[in-house]
Structure 1
Amino acid sequence: MAIDASSVRELRDRTSAGFLDCKNALEEANGDFEKAGEILKKKGLAKAMKKGSRGTPEGRIGSYIHTNGKLGVLIEVNCETDFVAKNDVFADLLKDLCMHIAATDPMAVSRETVPQDVIDKERKTYSEEFKDKPDNVRDKIIDGKMESFFKEVCLIDQPFVKDNDRTIEDLLKSAITKLGENVKISRFARFAIGE
């Protein structure tokens, strides 16, 4: 099927993918925009996964102070080049992350950065709560409770406050796809008066 330039441009406007990627996706989907969008999404996530292993020596510090002056957030987000760190997409990502942290108060960036003593305490609490259950059932319940715990306290696993259908990890993968570079959240701090 021949794909005209206006169709490619329309898909490109919708997805921010490259011209050639849009053309190939439309050809593969026989002109169906929805299918082409799904194809691009899958390819974009695959590219993001490959880029996820590359180093991130550059980046920026983002900040947010709530209008009442009683809540503030600092975040360090890293990328591969200074050029990307100065990009508007990167700046928007920093703003979104800061506002999300202000709203949700996560404990850690990822599961790997949650202190082990906190994990052990949480597991012990669930173990005592379900001590009357058979071992195999109790273990499954505890695993499920821990999964919920991580989704609540780990920034990467939290649903994005502006779009609950996406997690912060999805937001990062989208940024990686748009920017063409690896992007990582290194650390953050949330400050609130009285806390």
Structure 2
Amino acid sequence: MSEIKITASEVKKLRDITGAGMMDCKKALKESEGDFDKAIEFLRKKGQKVSAKRADREAKEGVVRALISDDGTKGVIVKLSSETDFVAKNEDFINLTNKFAEIALNIFPDTLAELLAAEFEQGLTVAEKVAEQVGVIGEKIELADYQKLEAPMVVSYIHMGNKAAVLVGLNKKDDNFVEVGRNVAMQAAAMKPIALDKDDVDASIIEKEIEIGKEQARNEGKPEELLERIAMGKLNKFYKENTLLNQAYVKDNKMDIRTYVKSADKDLVVTGFRHVKLG
């Protein structure tokens, strides 16, 4: 079997994604036969601090909008993608995104496919309206994401001028909790948690983190019988960094988000969140 040839541009691409050194990136790509996901995992196992900003380097343009129902119990986020920032800043494009969000809030579909199949106006579906705009604007337009959330109280936050949006659900409705919900939503936008709590993290992610933790400890020369305990310690750190309720609150890192929410009301609970961003 011939050796996979790794190009300089591929090495640079991996370096841009991970922030690792050029030689480390080249070795990782060779070891993983050019598979970028496997190369990233290889770097992590070797103890490299890999940047989590993978999506940022290929960020598409577009508009992300969030809407909340009048009674504050339902929220939706839609993302309409475009190729250029020029299109994304066009008032008609922003208005179209708002219209799609209004339709989503009105019918509250379970999936993006259901939203695309919904009626837009004058006999057109949402999907057909998107296709029409491709012809009008002359570049690729895509209704790329749709998320919904329902709770006794839903709070929204639009981040960075329509480039990201967050919904946060709370178990109790009170005007005094709007600021709490908004602060939690801002936390999600800034720190990009992958799940609400430990139990919500996908089992495959946990398995991979434990394996990476063991390999890191093994490479540091730790005894084999201690690898499991060390890996579980690293997993707890992973939870604190990547699950919303266990993250340190960005406005006061002496407490986590769960504690911050309880400081407003001992019975207040975050029931869920949704985060959609360009990229």
Aligned partner of 2:236 in structure 1 is: 147
Aligned partner of 2:162 in structure 1 is: 69
Quick one: distance in 2 between partners of 1:71 and 1:113? Answer: 22
Q: Does 1:134 align with 2:223?
A: yes
Q: Which moved more, 1:136-145 or 1:120-129?
A: 136-145
Q: Which moved more, 1:62-71 or 1:156-165?
A: 62-71
Quick one: distance in 2 between partners of 1:60 and 1:108? Answer: 19
Quick one: distance in 2 between partners of 1:67 and 1:58? Answer: 25
Quick one: distance in 1 between partners of 2:158 and 2:260? Answer: 22
**Aligned residue-pair number:** 128
Aligned partner of 1:86 in structure 2 is: 174
Show the 5 A alignment for 1:145-184: 145-177=234-266, 182-184=267-269
Unaligned runs of 5+ in 2: 1-149
Question: How far 1:152 sits from its partner (Å)?
Answer: 0.7
Question: How far 1:149 sits from its partner (Å)?
Answer: 0.4
Q: Does 1:103 align with 2:180?
A: no
Question: How far 1:128 sits from its partner (Å)?
Answer: 2.3
Q: RMSD between aligned alpha carbons? A: 1.8
Question: How far 1:137 sits from its partner (Å)?
Answer: 2.4
Residue type of the partner of 1:144?
G
What's the secondary structure of 1:130's corresponding residue? helix
Structure whose alpha-carbon radius of gyration is higher = 2
Structure 1's consecutive aligned runs of 4 or more residues displaced over 4 angstroms after TM superposition are none
Higher strand share: 2
Quick one: distance in 2 between partners of 1:109 and 1:58? Answer: 15
Show the 5 A alignment for 1:50-69: 59-69=152-162
Quick one: distance in 1 between partners of 2:160 and 2:226? Answer: 48
Residue type of the partner of 1:66?
H
**Contact map agreement 2:151 2:169 (CA 8 A) in 1:** no
Q: Which moved more, 1:101-110 or 1:68-77?
A: 68-77
> Deviation per CA, 1:75-94, whole angstroms, max 9, x where unpaired?
11112xxxxx1332x11111
**Contact map agreement 2:168 2:181 (CA 8 A) in 1:** yes
Q: Which moved more, 1:111-120 or 1:134-143?
A: 134-143
Question: How far 1:171 sits from its partner (Å)?
Answer: 0.6
Question: How far 1:58 sits from its partner (Å)?
Answer: 6.3
Q: What TM-score, normalized by structure 2, do the two folds share?
A: 0.43
Q: 1:176 to 1:136 in 2, by over 3 A?
A: farther
**Contact map agreement 2:157 2:182 (CA 8 A) in 1:** yes
**Share of identical aligned residues, percent?**
30
Higher helix share: 1
Quick one: distance in 1 between partners of 2:270 and 2:167? Answer: 11
Quick one: distance in 2 between partners of 1:70 and 1:87? Answer: 27
What's the secondary structure of 1:187's corresponding residue? strand
Question: How far 1:176 sits from its partner (Å)?
Answer: 2.2
Aligned partner of 2:276 in structure 1 is: 191
